[in-house]
């Protein structure tokens, strides 16, 4: 096998959550270009259908499952949907997640619980449902999309960063439980130019701050995260499990200062 062949995943089947746009969409197309059929899920059918067209344009099959993936039954159901549509399941990409920044004193326990639910519980629900199908085949690969904010500290990121830190360690623990036949890894992403950053991209001052605060001098592209997911999913990454691949432009601190002030006695 040549080195480029090691990145092929011909005739494998992947599930990608949050695949209507951004990192999820780029990942679905990248996996298809490498030979996989994909089940893609997100809230909006119209976005998913556009991604499905790109998948089919490279000669692979796409199965669209519109769903609110904060519903754990819906998230778990994607594993069966893959087997029903394509007869097997080999790769799971837990991409859905996120949380809006908030000051600590405005982050009540329910907000923190919601962030954990959307970033960790959804991944666990799909992972748990997928494992029997992965074991029924040749084993498989699970890739969780975490964040640099799970590793570095900045004001306003308490809920999101705590949830992503939990997902990062979940990755290590799940890898231990599921080895040797199912590999579990994560990609810890930095700032990536997706629709979630549209408000930043339109503000030259904020974008300039983010770029100048990133060692590589720019924000990332969804396709760069997708390339990392492909590596972890393919035979090229077959000797990795429980690892966190940091694709963040070299960040050691957050590159977006939310400008939250010091607390006062009245706060």
Catalytic residues: 160
Q: Where are the beta strands (DSSP E) in 60-214?
A: 62-66, 91-94, 140-147, 182-189
Cα dist from 156 to 10, 45, 149, whole Å = 43, 32, 11
Angle formed by the axes of helices 122-136 and 72-86, to 10°?
30
Q: How many residues are given for the chain?
A: 267
Task: Count CB neighbours of 12 within 10 A.
Answer: 23
Nearest-5° Cα angle at 20, 15 to 22? 100
């Amino acid at each position: 096998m040549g080195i480029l062949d090691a990145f092929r995943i011909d005739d494998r089947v992947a599930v990608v959550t949050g695949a209507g746009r951004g990192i999820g969409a780029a990942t679905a197309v990248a996996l298809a270009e490498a030979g996989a059929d994909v089940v893609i899920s997100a809230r909006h059918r119209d976005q998913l259908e556009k991604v499905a067209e790109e998948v089919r344009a490279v000669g692979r099959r796409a199965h669209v499952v519109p769903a609110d993936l904060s519903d754990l039954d819906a998230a778990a159901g994607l594993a069966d949907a893959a087997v029903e549509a394509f007869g097997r399941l080999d790769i799971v990409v837990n991409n859905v997640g996120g949380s809006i920044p908030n000051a600590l004193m405005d982050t009540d326990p329910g907000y923190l619980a919601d962030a954990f639910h959307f970033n960790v519980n959804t991944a666990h629900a799909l992972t748990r449902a997928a494992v029997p199908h992965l074991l029924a085949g040749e084993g498989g690969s699970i890739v969780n999309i975490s964040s640099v904010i799970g590793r570095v500290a900045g004001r306003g990121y308490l809920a999101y960063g705590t949830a992503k830190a939990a997902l990062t360690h979940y990755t290590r623990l799940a890898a231990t439980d599921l080895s040797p036949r199912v590999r579990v890894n994560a990609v810890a992403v930095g700032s990536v130019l997706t629709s979630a950053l549209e408000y930043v991209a339109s503000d030259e001052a904020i974008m300039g701050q983010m770029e100048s605060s990133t060692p590589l001098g720019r924000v990332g592209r969804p396709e760069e995260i997708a390339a990392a997911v492909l590596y972890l999913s393919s035979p090229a990454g077959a000797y990795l499990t429980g690892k966190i691949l940091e694709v963040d432009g070299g960040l050691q601190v957050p590159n977006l200062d939310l400008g939250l002030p010091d607390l006062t006695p009245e706060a």
